[in-house]
Amino acid sequence: MTRIHHTAICTTDVEGSLRFWRDGLGFETLMDHEFDGDWPTLFDAPSGHLRSIFLGDPAHPAAGIVELVDLGPGVGPPPAPAPPAAGVLLVSIATDLDAALARLDRLGLAGGARRIEVTGVPMATVLDPNGVRVELIDAGRARM
C-alpha cells in the first residue's frame, strides 16, 4: 500500500518552528536526531549533515508526521508571502481550531490568520515561521 509517511519542512529556525508546530499546534516530538549522509545529492543541501525532528501524535502514528529539517548554514530565508503558485499549496491539519488559534496567538504566531467556514466547517490558514501555509480544519465539525 502506498501512503504518505511524512511532510518535511526545511527550517533555519528550529526553536521558532518547534514553538509553532509543537507548542502552538500541539504536536509531540517523536524523534530528534542528527544524520550524516549524501544530502547534497539527494536534496541539493549545502552539507552532508542535517538535524531531523519528527512531530506527530504518538497515539495515532498513522495520522502522519511533520518533519522539521535543519540543513545548517547555506539555506536561504523563508520566501515572502505570495499568491498560490504551482507546487505544494499547504499542509492541512485537523485540530480543535479555536484552541489552536488561541495557543498560536498567545505565542505571537497567529498573525495574519484567515478564517472562513465551508459547508458548516470552520477553517483557517496561518503561515508557519518558514513561510509554509498551514490550513487548520476544525476536527470537531469536519467529516473526515
Average pLDDT in the chain: 94
**Confidence (pLDDT) at 62:** 85
| Residues present in the chain in total | 144
Query: From CA 141, how far away is CA 58, in angstroms rounded?
Result: 23
Query: Could you report the per-residue pLDDT of 84-141, keeping only the tens digit for each?
Result: 889 999 999 999 999 999 999 999 999 899 999 999 999 999 999 999 999 999 998 8
Instruction: At 84, give phi and psi (nearest 5°).
Output: -55, 145
pTM exceeds 0.85, yes or no: yes
Give the residues across from 140 on adjacent strands.
none
In order of start, what are the domains of the chain with their CATH numbers?
6-70 (3.10.180.10), 91-138 (3.10.180.10)
Residue 140, SS3 per DSSP: coil
> Is 80 exceeded by the pLDDT of residue 143?
no
24, 113 Cβ separation under 8 angstroms: no
Name residue 40's amino acid: P
62, 32 Cβ separation under 8 angstroms: no
> Is 70 exceeded by the pLDDT of residue 144?
no
